[in-house]
Amino acid sequence: MIFWGLAAILALLTALAFVWPVLKGSTETLDRADSAIAIFRDQLAEVDRDAERGLISDQEAAAARTEIQRRMLAADRARSGKDARKGGAGLLLLFAALTPVAGAALYTQLGAPGIASQPFAERQAERDEKQNLGALTAQLRTRLLDDPGGGETRGWELLASTYMNMGRFSDAVQAFARIVERDDATSATWSQYAEALISAENGIVTKPAEDATARALELDPDNPAGTYYRAVALDQAGQTLDARKLLLDRVARAETPQPWMPAFLQEANRMGANFALQPVTLGDFFEAPRGPSAEDVEAAQEMSPEEQQAFIRTMVDNLADRLEDEPGNLQGWLQLARAYMVLGERDNARGALESAKKLTDALPENDARRETVEQGLRELGG
């Protein structure tokens, strides 16, 4: 409330500054042109003081002086001109009324009076960290460029990845270009190069990106990233159904669930929605781990407690063995974690959930399985 009260007072003073000459009839000795010139002279002096104190650079000071002098010339020409046309006072009054209103509207969109300001020390630490990262990145690039052998591939990969994380996609393109020129360039490198090219063009798959994707798939037809960017290119070319089929076919070729599959299915379902096609899920491609059958449950009811415990242990061990061969089976890890909890083996349950978390980290934020895993880990203290 204090903030808005002060803002209202300042808005009123601003409006009065505009309206006062009109209400008073402009009886002051200096006319508007003279007043403007006097203000511009003060501004010139202020620019000189700021430049002397080092608050602005010489170039900024020169630009500011040029602009102020241009306005002084315009005001001087107006001094000998005619008085303002009739209606000018009305326009000034309207402008005075709209200025605080427009300012308040703009502030409600861009400002945040309810949020505490960040301490200067913290902001300085962030700036220092960015500067340090920028300096280290520049040093790495210089070292790689100065290497007579062209620089180690691992160094260029690190530089390219850093540029991608910094959002400097054009620089990442140049770094990846150094790698793909080499004979040992892998399919993964070519697909990363394609990603950088697409990111540099704000998501548009250009001809160079298509060529990079084609090379990635040539080296490894099952490269998920290459398949994904090929589908994006087809979709942008108007071949949406072909793009969707490409994504689904790649999922169908996999033997076990993989972390990249949710992104494939999400994109395929987005494309399919344009044609009113039924959404697909991982369950359409992979069977959930088999639990005890009705016969197993009936047999277990006739067992002694020791036999039941041994029976459950056998089922759990079989599932754990199967997951060693199917590490991408998210549903299996979740079922294994629940089974360990029933057995009271919290450490094993935590290990199963940690394996599941490696898969859920690749899922969309709103996927319920992410919260299931995170909640389980919290309960287990992991």
Q: In 3D, which of 284, 277, 200, 282 has the Cα closest to residue 244?
A: 277
In this prediction the pTM is: 0.49
Please report the pLDDT score of residue 14 as a whole number: 62
Give dist(CA 355, CA 337) in Å, integer. Answer: 10
Total domains present in the chain: 3
Give dist(CA 328, CA 363) in Å, integer. Answer: 13
What's the gap between Cα 188 and its chain centre? 22
Give dist(CA 152, CA 135) in Å, integer. Answer: 19
Q: In 3D, which of 367, 371, 331, 368 has the Cα closest to residue 352?
A: 331
State whether 266 and 301 are in the same domain. Answer: no
In which residue are the tokens 């919260």 written? 371
Helices (H) and strands (E) counted in the chain, each on its own, are 17, 0
State whether 301 and 261 are in the same domain. Answer: no
* Final residue in a domain of this structure, among 228, 249, 284: 284
pLDDT digits (tens, 9 = 90+) for 204-243: 999 999 999 999 999 999 999 999 999 999 999 999 999 9
**What residues make up the domain containing 358?**
294-379
Q: Please give the backbone phi and psi of residue 142, each rounded to the nearest 5 degrees, phi first.
A: -60, -45
Other beta carbons less than 10 A from residue 56's beta carbon = 15
Token pair of 181, please? 């020129």
Give dist(CA 328, CA 228) in Å, integer. Answer: 19
State whether 180 and 257 are in the same domain. Answer: yes
State whether 279 and 320 are in the same domain. Answer: no
Predicted confidence pLDDT, tens digits, the chain (382 residues):
555 565 566 566 565 655 555 555 544 444 556 666 677 677 777 777 777 776 666 767 676 777 777 676 666 665 555 444 444 555 555 555 555 555 555 555 555 555 555 555 556 656 666 667 778 888 888 999 999 988 899 889 889 988 988 889 999 999 999 999 999 899 999 999 999 999 999 999 999 999 999 999 999 999 999 999 999 999 999 999 999 999 999 999 988 778 888 889 999 999 999 999 999 988 888 765 555 555 655 555 666 677 666 767 777 888 888 888 888 888 888 888 888 887 788 888 889 889 988 888 887 777 777 878 888 888 887 5
Q: Is residue 369 part of a domain?
A: yes
State whether 149 and 226 are in the same domain. Answer: yes
Please report the pLDDT score of residue 290 as a whole number: 53
**CATH code for position 356:** 1.25.40.10
